[in-house]
Chains A and B, each alone.
Chain A
Amino acid sequence: MGMNQRGTADVPVLVIQPSQGWTALKLRELWEYRELVYFLVWREVKLRYKQTMVGAAWALIQPLFTMLVFTIFFGKLGKLPSDGVPYPVFSLTALVPWTFFTNGLSQSSNSLVGNANLITKVYFPRLAVPIAAVLSGVIDFAIAFALLVAMMAWYGVTPSAALLWLPGFLLLALVTALGVGLWLSALNVEYRDVRFVVPFLTQFWMLATPIAYSTSIVPEQWRTLYALNPMVGVVEGFRWALLGSGRAPGAMVVASAAAALGLLLTGAFYFRRMEKTFADLI
């Protein structure tokens, strides 16, 4: 909205007027509302597994069962190469950040519509809603990551010093999920088609990401282009940091990070542009 805080004397003056076109992100105001983001994440985490039978075990079931299916069909029957790492560990290393990404993506896409009662009743920086939706997935990620660590110990896979880069790759997955989530959540307010797009998009995206297969089957000269899919950088990064397989995926990670930042920035600006219509359309 076209508002700015102008300081006259000591009391700030809030100006409300129609805004046109692209508006500033107002990250400072978002920062002032960081406690709201915290409470929204907390609410989400607290309520996600309420009234479910197995509770937080759902965070394990999703990657674990996908890993089993992948291991049987792609690993054993399809005999896909896994860079010398046991196939279950190879695929789970990719599935853990992938599950975080897809859950973050679908949660944030639905976040605005799911919080319609807040949007139409109170003012706060709307960006807080999809951000909280993506962040709430970090807990599930931590649970699934514990499973991954156990699997690695079982198969005797030890990480190298590259492990220190891991938080960076998690951040990359988060930025990607948020970037797409911002686009889709804003579109979802006006076009409810989004809820049909999301399952299709994640399925399609999974095939374009080296989860079941290894990047080594992609010809060398195409890899940087391939890494414009930011999840390629995330998965490659996770495998490199945890399994120590192959060389450092430098160029690929740079390409992925650039694409992810592009998604985040365009998503954030598009979101801010559409924001003024949210309360009227939702």
Chain B
Amino acid sequence: MSGIAIRVHDLSKQYRIGALERARSFREVLNNAFTAPFRALRRKGRKQRTVDTFWALNAVSFEVKHGEVLGIIGRNGAGKSTLLKILSRITEPTRGRVEIKGRIGSLLEVGTGFHPELTGRENIFLNGAILGMRKMDIARRFDEIVAFAEVEKFIDTPVKRYSSGMYLRLAFAVAAHLEPDNLIVDEVLAVGDAAFQKKCLGKIGDVSREGRTVLFVSHNMAAVRALCKRVILLECGAVMRDSTDVSEAIASYTDLLSVGYRQRRDTRGVGGPMVFREIECVVKGEQPALRLEIRATVESVSPHQGALLALDIADASGVVFMQAVPSQEPWLFPVGGPQQCTVEVELPPLVPGTYRVGAWLGPHFTRTYDEVPPTIQFHVDASPDPTRTFPHCPEHGAIVPRSRVVHHELAVAGSRRQR
């Protein structure tokens, strides 16, 4: 593979959506083992339980030349993270093959393994070792790392006393001083203030000028444009564009952002008298007043009562955190054939990220006709608060409720002034 640094061939990764509901205790495993033969017998006549699986990556192939800076873009959930996790050997592919020439280093999340109780100095060595650096190399580059992070004065202070900016700078500094032949950089670098981001991007530029191969994943199109000579656009786990015309690939990406996500269903074995055939969901409007438009095709397969519809909205990990019920009265009655309906949900100010919608159909809340688990994705790409300067992270929840200052004055009471 002369001239080629990374060769990815037919790479695929399958996940189970039901992973959260998977057997997680011995009891269930034993239960499954005992009942499996009986279930196999019963299955002949009755409905089949299907395990929901999806291909996070599906037959992805590409090559990266030595010294090339390749941008990888795509919507949330398109498979970027899975690709990076496979390339950095955190998880294994289900199918396919990757060949990487030379050492590989990845910055998937800065500060991995940082411990708040340890000092900056101690964390540099610990984090360096976790990232695969030799103690000797860390010691050799120690001053450089500290200078880059601009934390000289606090190097012997536990990092729990650091400001979030200092923490990030230190974490990035350690990772940036790895010297792999191939560097994988994820979105995470886009945190921190503008000056620091500029510094990070500058550092990545330096790395590529030293002749190293860089895979750069970002939602920041300005950064992609500045750094990359070639871009791969991923969509639904597959390569949609692989182009040296960076602007064109970015244009395709922005087009994608306005398109909805559609799921067609195999309704064999659902069993209820009314089933979902297809559900599509599209995000409309601007933050913080986004609207979710859900278009569903339902069909009656046998006579039934009028039904109503409920929508569960879950975060990326599948935890449902809100439910919308457009009408409490039954409104979907049997007609001779499929019927289409569109429902609009006013979204609260959601944090950028991937969300999943699930749908439920039934005559009243104790009876279910059909149910689609939260698998239909939609993406929120902008922050609900454009003035916010610090990054959103899962610890802050999914919703940024609107808030305002209603009263503010100097506290003049004597007891308050003394501290």
Binding site for B on A (CB under 8 A): 1-3, 8, 11-19, 33, 35-36, 38-39, 42-43, 46-47, 50, 117-124, 190-193, 276, 279-281
Contact = CB atoms under 8 A, between A and B. Distances in A.
A13 B25 contact: no
B113 A191 contact: no
A40 to B, nearest CB: 8
Interface string B163-174: 000000000000
Which secondary structure characterizes the binding site on chain A?
A: mixed
A121 B108 contact: yes
Given A13-B101, A280-B91, 10 more contacts: A3-B89, A13-B99, A14-B101, A18-B96, A36-B130, A39-B126, A47-B115, A191-B29, A193-B26, A279-B85
A47 B122 CA distance: 12
Interface string B1-44: 10000000000000100010000111001000000000000000
B188 to A, nearest CB: 10
A154 to B, nearest CB: 37
B135 interface: yes
18 contacts: A8-B1, A12-B101, A13-B99, A13-B101, A16-B87, A16-B92, A18-B92, A19-B92, A39-B129, A39-B130, A47-B115, A47-B118, A122-B108, A122-B131, A123-B88, A192-B24, A193-B26, A279-B85
A264 B179 CA distance: 35
Given A16-B87, A18-B92, A36-B130, A117 B113 contact: yes
B98 A17 contact: yes
Given A35-B134, A276-B92, A11 B181 contact: yes
Contacts of B1: 8, 13
Interface residues of B, number: 44
Contacts of A117: 112-113
Interface of B: 1, 15, 19, 24-26, 29, 85-102, 104, 106, 108-109, 112-113, 115, 117-118, 122, 125-126, 129-132, 134-135, 181
B25 A124 contact: no
B97 A123 contact: no
B132 A124 contact: yes
Contact of A43 (B88, B95, B102, B126): B126
A50 B116 CA distance: 12
Contact of B25 (A46, A47, A121, A191): A191
The 6 closest A-B pairs by CB, nearest first: A123-B89, A16-B98, A39-B129, A276-B92, A121-B112, A14-B100
A3 B118 CA distance: 34
A124 B102 CA distance: 16
